[in-house]
């Protein structure tokens, strides 16, 4: 199979939408969009001396991108030389609320591309800061590896992921394995993996395991999981399981033929031995076993202010295995790509591949 042609037609899913990769992965946010950052509770500290007057007010904060919010702060300098945080006591405003709006407590929301001055007034003294609101960037696909088994038409495949550096709960990073079916078209593919901030039925569920199949017929979710049908760029089923994966632990996803066209996935903690069923999905009647081609990828699926702001994350993908017959897949390509290629890298050791993003 011609390598580059194969790449251009491979697809990946996120939130159930299967998309061509690597070139089109940056479009993922069209289905999920940016997520406003929750503003921390502002603490107001009144002046500690009733005789001290306010000399100046300093406003600080990082401008949000369109559709996001950011917490700003206001600090008053007093005539006795002290400083007090007055974020919650100040009156907030914006010179251009169509671009950036400011509300009580210092929360600033980006509404449109443009410029604005954010003002905080405390005891008739005002301070301001100028902000530039931009669209930011959706990182999309960042790093990928491609493998091939020496044979095909397997009943079972094991795929391994170890999160070596977890970027934290406010990030939007997806680590995934991708696979395909014998006697299926190029679009008859599937993926499974771990997300830092998963979405199930439009609700943020935090850390999540996901298993999705394009052109699937039906689905049954495992205990604690849910499934939903998607219809963007085709159709299929996606199963989502809130799952508190841990940094430094290796997890094994096992895809198994369950008969009558059903393909089940289990997720095993290789440290504790604990295993859960993610669920099973019914494929087309024409599909037989699993094909020889598999891949992995790392994706940033929410908008960030810039590629430099992408959180640092690293995951290790160990060599995939399949049976029968017992077989190991060989890595034949790994690369970085997409909008933020400058902050991503791949490191191969044999057929084990590390993806690192948010590289400084």
DSSP 7-53: HHH-EEEETTEEEE-STTGGGGHHHH---PPPPPPPPP---S-TT--
pLDDT at 225: 98
Q: What is the pLDDT of residue 50?
A: 59
Residues 317, 250 share a domain: yes
- Domain boundary (108, 133, 158) is at 133
pLDDT at 42: 44
Average pLDDT over residues 187-204: 94
Instruction: Report the pLDDT averaged over residues 183-208.
Output: 94
Closest by CA position to 192, among listed 142, 231, 229, 158? 158
- Ranking 21-25, 202-206, 222-226, 277-281 by mean pLDDT, the lowest is 21-25
| pLDDT tens-digit readout, 29-74 | 333 333 334 444 444 445 454 578 999 999 999 999 998 899 999 9
Distance CA 19, CA 146 (A): 17
Find, among 30, 276, 3, the residue nearest to 140 by Cα: 30
Q: Which of the pair, 166 or 259, is modelled with greater confidence?
A: 166
Contacts of 14 (CB under 8 A, 6+ apart): 28, 31, 32, 174, 299, 301
Give the pLDDT confidence score for residue 231 in this predicted structure. 80
**Is 109 part of any domain?**
yes
22 pLDDT more than 60: no
- Portion of the chain with pLDDT greater than 90, in percent: 80
Which pLDDT score, from 0 to 100, does residue 185 have?
Answer: 86
State yes or no: pLDDT of 18 exceeds 80: no
What per-residue confidence (pLDDT) applies to 186? 81
Structural domain harbouring 78: 64-133
A 10 A CB-CB count for 204 gives 11
**Burial class of 65 by CB neighbour count within 10 A (0 to 12, 13 to 18, 19+):** buried
Asked if residue 50 belongs to a domain, the reply is: no
pLDDT value of position 234: 74
Predicted TM-score (pTM) of this structure:
0.76
- Which tens digits make up the pLDDT trace of 70-95? 999 999 999 999 999 999 999 999 99
Q: Do 222 and 128 fall within a single domain?
A: no
DSSP string covering 116-146, please? EEEEEEETTEEEEEEEEE---B--EEEEEEE
Question: Mean pLDDT lowest for which of 2-6, 114-118, 212-216, 225-229?
Answer: 2-6
Domain boundary among 104, 133, 162: 133
Residue 190: inside a domain: yes
| 221 located within any domain | yes
C-alpha–C-alpha distance, residues 253 and 211, integer Å: 10
Is pLDDT above 50 for 174?
yes
Number of H helices and E strands in the chain, helices first, is 2, 29
- pLDDT computed for residue 322 by the predictor: 98
Domain tally for the chain?
2
Task: Indicate if 209 and 326 belong to the same structural domain.
Answer: yes
Same domain, 222 and 258: yes
Give me the CATH number covering residue 145.
Answer: 2.60.120.700
Greater pLDDT, 1 or 143: 143
Q: Mean pLDDT, to the nearest integer, of 273-281?
A: 98
Residues 263 and 214 in one domain: yes
Given a cut of 50, whether residue 335 has pLDDT beyond it is: yes
Q: How high is the pLDDT of residue 166?
A: 98
Q: Does 328 lie in the same domain as 303? A: yes
In a domain, 97, yes or no: yes
Out of 3-7, 187-191, 249-253, least confident range = 3-7
In a domain? residue 43: no
Helix (H, G, I), strand (E, B) or coil at 309: helix
pLDDT at position 51 is: 79
Checking if the pLDDT of 5 tops 80, the result is: no
Mean pLDDT over 186-206 rounds to: 94
Average pLDDT in the chain: 88
Separation CA 22–CA 202 (nearest Å): 25
Q: Specify the CATH number for the domain of residue 81.
A: 2.60.40
Cβ contacts of 103 within 8 Å, gap of 6 or more: 92, 109
């Amino acid at each position: 199979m011609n390598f580059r042609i194969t790449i251009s037609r491979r697809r990946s899913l996120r939130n159930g939408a299967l998309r061509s990769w690597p070139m089109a992965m940056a479009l993922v946010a069209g289905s999920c969009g940016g997520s406003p950052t929750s503003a921390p509770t502002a603490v107001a500290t009144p002046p500690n001396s009733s005789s001290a007057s306010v000399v100046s007010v300093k406003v600080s904060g990082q401008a949000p991108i369109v559709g996001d919010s950011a917490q700003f702060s206001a600090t008053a300098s007093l005539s006795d030389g002290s400083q007090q945080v007055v974020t919650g006591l100040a009156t907030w405003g914006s010179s251009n609320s169509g671009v950036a709006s400011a509300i009580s407590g210092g929360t600033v929301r980006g509404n449109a591309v443009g410029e604005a001055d954010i003002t905080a007034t405390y005891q008739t003294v005002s301070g301001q800061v100028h902000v530039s609101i931009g669209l930011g960037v959706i990182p999309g696909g960042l790093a990928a590896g491609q493998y091939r088994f020496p044979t095909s038409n397997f009943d079972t495949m094991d795929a391994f992921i170890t999160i070596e550096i977890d970027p934290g709960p406010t990030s939007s990073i997806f680590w995934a394995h991708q696979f395909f079916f014998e006697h299926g078209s190029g679009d008859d593919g599937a993926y499974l993996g771990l997300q830092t901030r998963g979405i199930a039925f439009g609700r943020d569920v935090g850390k999540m395991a996901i298993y999705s199949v394009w052109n699937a017929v039906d689905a049954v979710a495992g205990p604690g999981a849910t499934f939903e049908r998607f219809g963007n760029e085709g159709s299929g089923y996606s199963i989502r399981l809130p799952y508190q994966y841990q940094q430094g632990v290796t997890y094994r996803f096992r895809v198994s033929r369950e008969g009558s066209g059903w393909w089940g996935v289990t997720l095993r903690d290789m440290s504790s031995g604990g295993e859960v069923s993610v669920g099973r999905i019914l494929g087309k009647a024409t599909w037989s076993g699993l094909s020889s081609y598999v891949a992995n990828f790392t994706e940033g699926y929410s908008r960030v202010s810039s590629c430099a702001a992408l959180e640092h994350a690293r995951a290790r993908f160990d060599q995939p295995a399949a049976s029968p017959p017992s077989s190991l897949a060989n890595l034949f390509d790994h690369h970085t790509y997409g909008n933020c290629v400058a902050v991503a890298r791949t490191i191969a050791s044999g057929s084990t591949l590390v993806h690192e993003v948010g590289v400084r």
